C-alpha cells in the first residue's frame, strides 16, 4: 500500500493573506466552490491534477524556529535568478543565498510569515549545465 499526499499544510497567523502569496508563487487557485475569505480559519489552494493542494490553517502562535520541512521550487518559464527577483517583488524575503558564480546553487527565501523555501535552477538551466 502507498498513500497520496492530498495537502501540504502551513500553520500560520493569516491564512487568507498567506494563501494569496503562495497563489502568486505557484499559480495554484482557490476552489471556486469554496472561496477563501479574510478572517476564515483556513484557506486552500488547489494544485494541478495529481499534485497536492496547499492548505493554510490559522494558529495563534508565530513561527519561532527553522522549518523542519520546506518546499523546493523550480521555475517553469524563467531562470532561477529571474524567479528570485519575481518572488521578492510579491513579498518574499531573501533568507540565505547559496548561488555560485558558475550558475549552480540555490536561494533560500522566506514567505511573509517567515517560512523558508528554496528556489532552484530551472530544468532548462540544468539541461545546459556542463
pLDDT tens digit string along 73-103? 999 999 999 999 999 999 999 999 999 999 9
Residue 2 lies in a domain: no
Structural domain total, the chain: 2
If asked whether residues 21 and 46 sit together in one domain, one would say: yes
Q: How far is Cα 60 from Cα 70, in angstroms, rounded to an integer?
A: 21
pLDDT at 62: 85
Query: Backbone phi, then psi, for 27, in 5-degree steps?
Result: 80, 0
Query: Cell 500553520 maps to which residue?
Result: 11
Extended strands (E) in the chain: 7-12, 42-45, 53-58, 71-73, 93-97, 107-110, 116-119
User: Once rounded to an integer, what is the mean pLDDT over residues 13-40?
Assistant: 96
Residue 65 lies in a domain: no
If asked whether residues 77 and 31 sit together in one domain, one would say: no
Q: How far is Cα 2 from Cα 13, in angstroms, rounded to an integer?
A: 33
What CATH code is carried by the domain that includes residue 106?
3.10.180.10
- Percent of the chain at pLDDT above 90? 88
If asked whether residues 76 and 33 sit together in one domain, one would say: no
pLDDT tens digit string along 44-73? 999 999 999 999 999 999 888 888 899 999
Q: What's the mean pLDDT when you consider all of the chain?
A: 95
If asked whether residues 75 and 124 sit together in one domain, one would say: yes
Question: Domain of 100?
Answer: 71-128
pLDDT exceeds 70 at position 130: no
Amino acid at each position: 500500500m502507498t498513500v497520496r499526499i492530498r495537502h501540504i499544510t502551513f500553520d500560520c497567523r493569516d491564512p487568507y493573506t498567506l494563501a494569496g502569496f503562495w497563489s502568486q508563487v505557484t499559480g495554484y487557485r482557490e476552489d471556486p466552490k469554496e472561496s477563501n475569505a479574510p478572517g476564515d480559519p483556513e484557506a486552500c489552494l488547489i494544485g494541478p491534477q495529481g499534485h497536492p493542494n496547499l492548505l493554510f490553517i490559522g494558529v495563534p502562535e508565530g513561527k519561532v524556529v527553522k522549518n523542519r520541512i520546506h518546499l523546493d521550487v523550480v521555475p517553469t518559464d524563467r531562470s532561477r535568478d529571474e524567479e528570485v527577483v519575481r518572488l521578492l517583488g510579491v513579498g518574499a524575503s531573501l533568507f540565505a543565498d547559496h548561488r555560485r558564480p558558475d550558475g549552480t546553487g540555490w536561494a533560500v527565501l522566506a514567505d511573509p510569515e517567515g517560512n523558508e523555501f528554496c528556489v532552484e535552477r530551472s530544468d532548462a538551466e540544468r539541461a545546459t549545465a556542463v
